[in-house]
Amino acid sequence: MRAPDNPVFAKGDVLLAVENVSLGFGGVKALTDVSFDIRKSEIRAIIGPNGAGKTSMLNCINGFYYPTEGRITFKGVKRPKMRPYEAARGGIARTFQNVALFKSMSTLDNIMAGRSIKMHSNFFWQLFRHGPAMKEEVEHRRFVEEIIDFLEIQHIRKTPVGRLPYGLQKRVELGRALAMEPELLLLDEPMAGMNLEEKEDMSRFILEVNQQYGTTIALIEHDMGVVMDLSDRVVVLEYGRKIADGTPSEVKGDQRVIDAYLGVAH
Amino acid sequence: MSSAVQMQPQATQTVLTVNNIEVVYDHVILVLKGVSLNVPKGGIVALLGANGAGKTTTLKAISNLLRAERGEVTKGSIEFNGERVDKLSPNELVRRGCIQVLEGRHCFGHLTIEENLLTGAFTRKDGNAAIRRDIEAIYEYFPRLKQRRTSMAGYTSGGEQQMCAIGRAMMSKPSMILLDEPSMGLAPQIVEEIFEIVRKLNATEGVSFLLAEQNTNMALKYATYGYILETGRVVMDGPAQMLRENEDVKEFYLGVSEGDRKSFRAVKSYKRRKRWLA
Amino acid sequence: MDILYKIFIEPFVFMGEAPDLLIQTLWEGLVSGVLYALIALGFVLIFKASGVFNFAQGIMVVFAALTLVGLYEKGVPAFLALILAVLVMLVLAVVVERVVLRPLVNQPDIILFMATFGLTYFLIGFGELIFGGNPKEMITDALFLPQGTTELDMLGGMVRFQHLDIAAAVIASIMIGLLAVFFSKTRIGRALRAVADSHKAALSVGISLNQIWVIVWFAAGIVALVAGIMWGARSGVSFSLQIIALKALPVLILGGFTSIPGAIIGGLIIGVGEKIGEFYWGPLVGGGVETWLAYVIALLFLLYRPQGLFGEKIIERI
Amino acid sequence: QDSVYVPLFTYRTGPFAGSGTHIADGMHDYLRMLNERDGGIGGVKLVLEECETGYDTKKGVECYESVKGKNPVIVNPWSTGITLPLIPRASVDKIPILSMAYGLSASARGDIFPWVFNPPATYWDGLSMIVKYIGEKEGGLEKLKGKKIGFLHLDAAFGKEPVPLLQELAKDIGFEVALYPVAAQDMQNQSSQWLSARRDRPDYMIMWGWGSMNGAAVKEAVRSGYPMDKFYSVWWPGEDDARAGGAGAKGFKMLNWHAVGTNFPAIQDIQKHVVDKGLSKASKDKVGELLYNRGVYNSLLIAEGIAQAQKVTGKKVVTGEDVRRGMENIKLDPARLKELGLEGFTDQLVLSCSDHNGHRAAFMQEWDGTKWVKISNPIEPMTDRVKGQLEAAAKDYAEKNAGWPKRTEACDKAS
Amino acid sequence: MLYREAGQFKTNYVADSAIFPLRQDRIGLGLIIIAAYALAFLGNSFLLQAVMIPFLVFSLASIGLNILTGYTGLLSLGTGAFMGVGAYACYKLMTAFPEVNVIVWIFVSGFFSAAIGALFGLPSLRIKGFYLAVATLAAQFFLQWCFIRIPWLVNYNVSGALDAPLRTLFGTPIMGPNATPQTRYLVVLTIVILLTWLASNLVHGRIGRMWIAIRDMDLAAELMGIRPLQTKLLAFAVSSYYCGVAGALLVFLWYGGAEYDVFNINQSFFILFMVIIGGLGSLIGSFFGAALIFILPIVLGIVLPAIMSPFGISVGADVIEHLRFMIVGALIIFFLIVEPHGLARLWQIGKQKLLVWPFPY
Ligand SMILES: Nc1ncnc2c1ncn2[C@@H]1O[C@H](COP(=O)(O)OP(=O)(O)OP(=O)(O)O)[C@@H](O)[C@H]1O
Ligand SMILES: Nc1ncnc2c1ncn2[C@@H]1O[C@H](COP(=O)(O)OP(=O)(O)OP(=O)(O)O)[C@@H](O)[C@H]1O
Ligand SMILES: [Mg+2]
Ligand SMILES: [Mg+2]
In this structure, of A184-188, B19-23, B120-124, E200-204, the range with the lowest mean pLDDT score is B120-124
In terms of pLDDT, which residue wins out, E170 or A11?
E170
Q: Do chains A and D touch (3 or more CB pairs under 8 A)?
A: no
Total residue count of chain E as it appears in this document: 361
Residue of A47, A156, A200, A204 to mutate, interface with B, max B Cβ within 10 Å: A200
Band (C68; pLDDT cuts 50, 70, 90): very high
Predicted confidence at residue B7, as pLDDT, reads 40
Question: Domain spanning E43-356 has what CATH number?
Answer: 1.10.3470
Reference D218, options D163, D158, D152; nearest CA is D152
Q: Is A239 on the interface with E (CB under 8 A)?
A: no
- What are the CA-CA distances from residue A1 to residues A8, A179, A181, B267, E159 (Å)? 21, 9, 8, 22, 67
C118-C120-C125 Cα angle (round to 5): 100
- Asked whether residue A226 is assigned to any structural domain, the reply reads no
- pLDDT above 80 for D401: no
Identify the helix (H) or strand (E) that includes residue E269: helix E265-278
- Asked whether residue A210 is assigned to any structural domain, the reply reads no
Reference E354, options B205, B27, A132, C143; nearest CA is B27
Beta pairing class for D45-52 and D3-10? parallel
Predicted confidence at residue E7, as pLDDT, reads 66
Record: contact C240-D211, CB cut-off 8 A: yes
Q: Which residues contact E357 (CB under 8 A, 6 or more apart)?
A: E1, E3
Reference A195, options B278, B163, B251; nearest CA is B251
Which residue numbers of C have CB closer than 8 Å to D's CBs? 18, 21, 24-25, 28, 31-32, 124, 128, 132-135, 137, 149, 160, 162, 231, 234-236, 238-244, 246-247, 274-275, 278-279, 282-283, 286-288, 290-291
Distance (Å, whole) CA B97 – CA B125: 13
Distance (Å, whole) CA D104 – CA D107: 5
Nearest residue CA, atom 27 of ligand 1?
Answer: B158
Distance (Å, whole) CA C194 – CA C116: 21
**What dihedral angle (degrees, nearest 10) is formed by the CA atoms of B119, B121, B126, B132?**
-80
Identify the helix (H) or strand (E) that includes residue B239: strand B233-239
Count other C-beta atoms under 10 Å from residue D45's C-beta.
Answer: 16
Identify the helix (H) or strand (E) that includes residue D208: strand D204-208
Burial environment of residue B40 by CB neighbours within 10 A (0 to 12, 13 to 18, 19 or more): middle
Q: Chain A 161-190, CB below 8 Å of chain E: which residues? A: 176-177, 180
Predicted confidence at residue C303, as pLDDT, reads 85
Distance (Å, whole) CA E211 – CA E205: 10
Split into its structural domains, chain A has a count of 1
Average pLDDT in the C173-183 region?
A: 83
A56 Cα nearest atom in ligand 1: 18
A237 Cα nearest atom in ligand 1: 21
Distance (Å, whole) CA B124 – CA B130: 10
> Ligand 2 mean position to A163 CA, how many Å?
6
In terms of pLDDT, which residue wins out, C19 or C40?
C40
Predicted confidence at residue D202, as pLDDT, reads 92
Predicted confidence at residue E38, as pLDDT, reads 92
- Asked whether residue A131 is assigned to any structural domain, the reply reads no
Q: Of B42-46, C96-100, C184-188, E63-67, which has the strongest mean pLDDT? A: E63-67
Contact E340, C104 (CB under 8 A): yes
Predicted confidence at residue A2, as pLDDT, reads 44
| Closest-CA distance of chain E to residue B23, Å | 11
Range of the domain at A76: 1-90+231-266
Q: Of B140-149, D245-254, E227-236, which has the strongest mean pLDDT? A: E227-236
Predicted confidence at residue E263, as pLDDT, reads 92
Predicted confidence at residue D218, as pLDDT, reads 92
Identify the helix (H) or strand (E) that includes residue B229: strand B225-230
Q: Per 3-state DSSP, what percentage of chain E is helix, strand, and coil (rounded to 5)?
A: 75, 5, 20
Rg of chain C over CA atoms, in angstroms?
21
Contact C43, C223 (CB under 8 A): no
Beta pairing class for D372-374 and D331-332? unpaired
* Mean pLDDT across chain B: 83
Nearest residue CA, atom 12 of ligand 2?
Answer: B31
Distance (Å, whole) CA C266 – CA C38: 11
Reference C172, options C229, C117, C124, C119; nearest CA is C229
- What are the CA-CA distances from residue E328 to residues C57, C123, C245, D240, E333 (Å)? 18, 11, 22, 31, 9
Quick one: what percent of chain D has pLDDT higher than 90? 35
Band (B61; pLDDT cuts 50, 70, 90): very high
Burial environment of residue C97 by CB neighbours within 10 A (0 to 12, 13 to 18, 19 or more): buried
Tens of pLDDT along D242-294? 988 888 889 999 999 998 988 999 999 999 999 998 888 888 888 989 999 99
Q: Where are the domains of chain C?
A: 2-304
Task: For residue A235, give the CATH number of its domain.
Answer: 3.40.50.300
* C-beta of A48 in contact with ligand 1 (< 6 A): yes
- Asked whether residue A260 is assigned to any structural domain, the reply reads yes
Distance (Å, whole) CA D21 – CA D104: 23
Domain C2-304: which CATH class? Answer: mainly alpha
Reference E78, options E40, E107, E121, E48; nearest CA is E121
| Closest-CA distance of chain C to residue B65, Å | 7
Distance (Å, whole) CA C18 – CA C16: 6
Predicted confidence at residue C212, as pLDDT, reads 87
- Asked whether residue A133 is assigned to any structural domain, the reply reads no
Average pLDDT in the B202-225 region?
A: 88
Closest residue on chain B to C102 (Cα): B68
DSSP 3-state of E280: coil
B53 Cα nearest atom in ligand 2: 21
Tens of pLDDT along E151-161? 888 888 777 78
Strands (E), chain E: 162-163, 167-169, 172-175, 257-258
* C-beta of B69 in contact with ligand 2 (< 6 A): yes
Q: Of B41-55, C155-169, C190-204, E55-69, which has the strongest mean pLDDT? A: E55-69
**What dihedral angle (degrees, nearest 10) is formed by the CA atoms of E275, E279, E281, E285?**
-80
ipTM of the complex: 0.89
**Helices A107-114 and A166-179: angle between axes, nearest 10 degrees:** 30
- pLDDT above 80 for D377: yes
Give counts: helices (H), strands (E), chain D. Answer: 14, 13
Chains contacting chain B through 3 or more C-beta pairs under 8 A: A, C, E
Record: contact A133-E206, CB cut-off 8 A: yes
- pLDDT above 60 for E293: yes
The DSSP code for E155 is T
Predicted confidence at residue D413, as pLDDT, reads 60
Contact D94, D75 (CB under 8 A): no
Distance (Å, whole) CA B208 – CA B223: 11
Contact B180, B100 (CB under 8 A): yes
Q: Which of D21, D189, D224 sits opposite C235 (nearest CB)?
A: D189
Tens of pLDDT along E197-223? 999 999 988 999 999 999 998 889 998
* Mean pLDDT across chain D: 88
Total residue count of chain B as it appears in this document: 278
Band (D300; pLDDT cuts 50, 70, 90): very high
Tens of pLDDT along E320-355? 888 888 988 998 899 888 888 888 888 888 887 777
Distance (Å, whole) CA E92 – CA D59: 27
> Ligand 4 mean position to D116 CA, how many Å?
71
Reference D28, options D11, D43, D54, D49; nearest CA is D49
**Distance from CA of residue C263 to its chain's centroid?**
8
Q: Where are the domains of chain E?
A: 43-356
Band (B6; pLDDT cuts 50, 70, 90): very low
Q: Which residues contact D40 (CB under 8 A, 6 or more apart)?
A: D2, D3, D4, D34, D46
Contact E238, E248 (CB under 8 A): no
Predicted confidence at residue D392, as pLDDT, reads 79
- Asked whether residue A142 is assigned to any structural domain, the reply reads no
Q: What is the residue-wise DSSP string for E41-100?
A: HHS-HHIIIIIIHHHHHHHHHHHHHIIIIIIS----S-HHHHHHHHHHHHHHHHHH-TTS
Predicted confidence at residue A195, as pLDDT, reads 78
Tens of pLDDT along D188-246? 888 888 988 888 889 999 999 888 889 889 988 988 889 999 999 999 998 888 988 88
Specify the amino acid at residue E341. H
Band (B10; pLDDT cuts 50, 70, 90): very low
Q: Which of B159, B191, B252 sits opposite A197 (nearest CB)?
A: B252
B119-B125-B131 Cα angle (round to 5): 55
Tens of pLDDT along B238-275? 898 888 888 777 777 776 554 456 677 766 555 454 54
Distance (Å, whole) CA D231 – CA D254: 8
Burial environment of residue E246 by CB neighbours within 10 A (0 to 12, 13 to 18, 19 or more): buried
- pLDDT above 60 for B5: no
Low-confidence ranges of chain A (pLDDT < 70): 1-11, 263-266
Band (D1; pLDDT cuts 50, 70, 90): low
> Ligand 3 mean position to A55 CA, how many Å?
4
* Mean pLDDT across chain E: 87
Distance (Å, whole) CA C312 – CA C306: 10
Q: Is A255 on the interface with B (CB under 8 A)?
A: no
A165 Cα nearest atom in ligand 2: 26
